[in-house]
């Protein structure tokens, strides 16, 4: 097990995008939201977590009601409205009553061979690429998966855990979200080695096939490392650094697994 990082260790990049205030939203849009909610908004507190640009706020209504409101437009990122519409469709299709029990009911990204790639990954690049090619089969299943779990997409209540932000929902292996979220857990942990050990124990407890886990983890590492080298999308200046750090954490986890090939 590794030692705890010193107080001078570099902090992980924040999962935070560029927000604007509820009061910056055009009046006619605010009026339509208030009409839907049934009362005027008296107060709004911007929430910094998450990458989507523009509004994410907790609002307080004149009648005492409280809601969480997200709103975007084509500027600064033209792709974001489509993601919000997809999230609305997925959320509407989920079971009623706030049910979010994951694991009960693809795109391909290759490892980048550039100079910034980890030396261990460069030495094993051919094996990694070959292993990654089978990730879709390894991740197959019949469970509901979130597909984009991070700390800022999770709410803790008095008696349960609630997962929010669902534009990437899909059907797959019941352990997929554990592997996909694992790099951010490792990256943000005070003790990354302990975080890796806990993730592995949890996956064993869920009965996940070790070979399939490794294959999916290779794909997750490749996706984040490749994405982290791209230009920042409009309005999301912190996204690439966050993805790069997740990719490096995924490699750290991958290197600890027994006989990854």
> Quick one: pLDDT at residue 120?
85
CA–CA dist 144, 58 (Å, integer): 28
Q: Is the pLDDT at 20 greater than 70, yes or no?
A: yes
Does position 108 have pLDDT exceeding 90, yes or no? no
Residue 99: pLDDT band with limits 50, 70, 90: very low
CA within 13 Å, CB half, 207: 3
How many Å apart are CA 116 and CA 25, to the nearest integer?
40
For residue 16, pLDDT beyond 50: yes
User: What is d(CA 197, CA 203) in angstroms, rounded to the nearest whole number?
Assistant: 10
The angle formed by the CA atoms of residues 5, 150 and 86, to the nearest 5 degrees, is 160
d(CA 261, CA 255): 11
pLDDT digits (tens, 9 = 90+) for 154-168: 999 999 999 988 999
Please indicate whether residue 118 or residue 39 has the higher confidence score (pLDDT): 39
Q: What is the mean pLDDT of residues 70-78?
A: 80
Report the alpha-carbon distance of residue 184 to residue 249 in Å, rounded: 7
What gap in Å lies between CA 200 and CA 223, rounded to an integer?
Answer: 20
Predicted local confidence at residue 111, as pLDDT: 40
CA dist 161 and 101 (Å) reads 9
Query: Under CATH, which number does the domain 119-256 receive?
Result: 3.90.1200.10
Q: Do 212 and 173 touch, CB atoms closer than 8 A?
A: yes
Comparing 50-59, 143-152, 206-215, which segment has the lowest mean pLDDT?
50-59
Of residues 234 and 60, the one with the higher pLDDT is 60
Mean model confidence pLDDT for the chain? 83
pLDDT > 50? residue 75: yes
Transcribe 90-139 into DSSP letters. Answer: HHHHSPSTT---TTT-----PPP-STTS-HHHHHTHHHHHHHHTTHHHHT
Q: What is the pLDDT of residue 101?
A: 56
pLDDT at 257: 84
Q: Do you know the residue count of the chain? A: 261
Beta bridge partners of 155: 162
Mean pLDDT of 195-218: 94
Any idea where the domains of the chain sit in the sequence? Answer: 22-75, 119-256
């Amino acid at each position: 097990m590794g030692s705890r990082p010193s107080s001078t260790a570099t902090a992980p990049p924040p999962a935070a995008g560029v927000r604007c205030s509820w009061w910056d939203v055009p009046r006619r849009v605010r009026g339509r939201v208030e009409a839907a909610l049934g009362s005027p908004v008296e107060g709004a507190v911007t929430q910094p977590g998450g990458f989507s640009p523009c509004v994410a706020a907790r609002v307080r209504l004149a009648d005492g009601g409280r809601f969480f409101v997200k709103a975007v437009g084509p500027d600064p990122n033209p792709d974001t409205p489509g993601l919000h519409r997809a999230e609305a469709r997925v959320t509407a299709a989920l079971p009623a009553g706030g049910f979010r029990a994951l694991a009960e009911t693809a795109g391909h990204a290759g490892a980048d061979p550039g100079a910034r790639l980890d030396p261990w990954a460069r030495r094993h690049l051919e094996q990694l690429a070959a292993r990654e090619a089978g990730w879709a089969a390894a991740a197959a299943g019949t469970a509901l998966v979130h597909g984009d779990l991070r700390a800022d997409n999770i709410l803790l209540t008095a008696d349960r855990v609630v997962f929010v932000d669902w534009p990437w929902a899909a059907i797959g292996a019941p352990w997929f979200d554990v592997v996909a979220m694992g790099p951010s857990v490792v990256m943000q942990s005070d003790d990354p080695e302990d975080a890796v050990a806990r993730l592995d124990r949890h996956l064993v407890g869920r009965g996940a096939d070790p070979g399939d886990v490794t294959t999916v983890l290779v794909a997750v590492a490749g996706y984040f490392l490749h994405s982290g080298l791209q230009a920042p999308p409009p309005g999301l200046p912190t996204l690439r650094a966050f993805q790069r750090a997740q990719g490096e954490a995924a490699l750290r986890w991958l290197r600890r697994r027994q006989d990854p090939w």
